[in-house]
Amino acid sequence: MSSTQSLIRFVREFYQSNEFIPLHAPHFNGNEKSYVLDTIDSTFVSSVGAYVDLFERQVAEFTNASSAIATVNGTAALYSALYVAGVRPNELVITQALTFVATCNVIAQLGAQPVFVDVERATLGMCPRALETFLDQHCHLKEGMCFHSSGSRIAAVVPMHTFGHPVQIHEINRVCARFGITVVEDAAESLGSFYKGQHTGTFSPFAALSFNGNKVITTGGGGMVLCESQEVGKRVKHITTTAKVAHAYEFYHDELAFNFRMPNINAALGCGQMEQLHAYLSAKRALALAYQAHFDGSELEFVCEPEHAQSNYWLNAVICADKHHRDEFLEMTNKAGVMTRPVWQLMHTLPMFKNAIRGPLDMSVWLAERIVNLPSSVPTVSEVK
């Protein structure tokens, strides 16, 4: 039996299903429905309501963030974080080419330009050495700010915790501190992931989470900005709620801002999901350990959590021998009704970012030709047993 056929059998046996097996489906087996119905009965279904405040507190407490501000989606969360971090038109933001397109879309929508540096194999995220080499070779400090040789300011660095695996964020922060650059973590995929005992998204002034339907927990669509202080959190909340100055009846807005607040009905769903987060993470770890055991001794390399990290294993992944093997694996599994997918197209290969400034991307290219994501839905208790 081939390794691909063996994987198909393993997945079907694990999930106890002969039907189509999705990549990552949401689970609703707690208080989600009653909380959503409560918002309907209260009529507070839009951006004002008790569940928005509760959901923000739940996430802040779980991550140990000073402040957490709910938004309509993860893209809006990252946009808001970069805006408050000071990213403005004609500036540069360094990120990784191995990422979801939203990371780069928000940079461009702010009028800035993405710059790509390589990732490392162990974390699948931004390589601190590649970042430092790029800055040493192409950038300089002037009056406490970092400028590229083109003359544009490097306004921020955005590492992503790919598939929930934490990057070497301490090293990235060290490099950025040396060059006076703000770090904004793209933690969209890493709720429940820790690096050296600290939750991802809390190592920098700002971070963005996502609660899309395919994430560890979901609000249908939604995101969250994690902030380093209550003061910064108030600033984020102000600009994500149209910069309306509080008043009993007057509508006065004191600056250009956005309508990015999460509706109460979505937050209600999130509150029910947060109550089950610990159980979800335990179940997903059990699935990852089962995959790891299954692939032990195989020509497919299972992607394990990096050193000093506790990953949420949002999406499990394997590294194939080469692109040909990857393509065969994808074809066979999807034809068999077991959903797998390749990693995203590298950002510099997309038409809107093909002319972006970039350093060498050898590891990004190597991984993009070989990574396959595996079914990673939260298994039920009976499936884990």
Model confidence pLDDT, tens digit, residues 140-192? 999 999 999 999 999 999 999 999 999 999 999 999 999 999 999 999 999 99
Q: For the chain, what is the mean pLDDT?
A: 96
Q: Where in the chain is the domain with CATH 3.90.1150.10?
A: 3-29+277-384
pLDDT for residue 9: 96
pLDDT in tens, 275-293: 999 999 999 999 999 999 9
pLDDT at 385 over 50: no
pLDDT in tens, 2-44: 889 999 999 999 999 999 999 999 999 999 999 999 999 999 9
pLDDT in tens, 83-95: 999 999 999 999 9
Q: Where in the chain is the domain with CATH 3.40.640.10?
A: 32-274
Q: Is 226 helix (H, G, I), strand (E, B) or coil?
A: strand
The C-alpha R_g of the chain, in whole angstroms, comes to 21
Tell me which residue has tokens 């970042």: 131
Q: How does residue 379 score in pLDDT terms, banded at 50, 70 and 90?
A: confident
What is the C-alpha to C-alpha distance for residues 356 and 140, in angstroms, rounded to an integer? 19
Please tell us whether the domain made up of 3-29+277-384 is placed in CATH 3.90.1150.10: yes
List residues bridging with 206 in a β-sheet: 184, 227
What is the C-alpha to C-alpha distance for residues 161 and 167, in angstroms, rounded to an integer? 6
Mean pLDDT of 257-278: 97
Mean pLDDT of 300-319: 97
List residues bridging with 362 in a β-sheet: none
Are 52 and 262 contacting, i.e. CB atoms less than 8 angstroms apart? yes
Are 298 and 289 contacting, i.e. CB atoms less than 8 angstroms apart? no
Percent residues over pLDDT 90 in the chain: 96
pLDDT at 234 over 80: yes
Other CB atoms within a 10 A radius of the CB of residue 250 amount to 8
What is the C-alpha to C-alpha distance for residues 179 and 173, in angstroms, rounded to an integer? 10
pLDDT at 384 over 80: no
pLDDT for residue 1: 53
pLDDT for residue 382: 46
Count of CA atoms in the C-beta half-sphere (13 A) of 332: 15
Question: Is the sign of the CA dihedral 131, 132, 138, 144 positive or negative?
Answer: positive
Protein fold of 32-274: Aspartate Aminotransferase; domain 2 (3.40.640)
Mean pLDDT of 224-239: 97
CA 257 to chain centre: 24
Other CB atoms within a 10 A radius of the CB of residue 144 amount to 7
Q: How does residue 341 score in pLDDT terms, banded at 50, 70 and 90?
A: very high
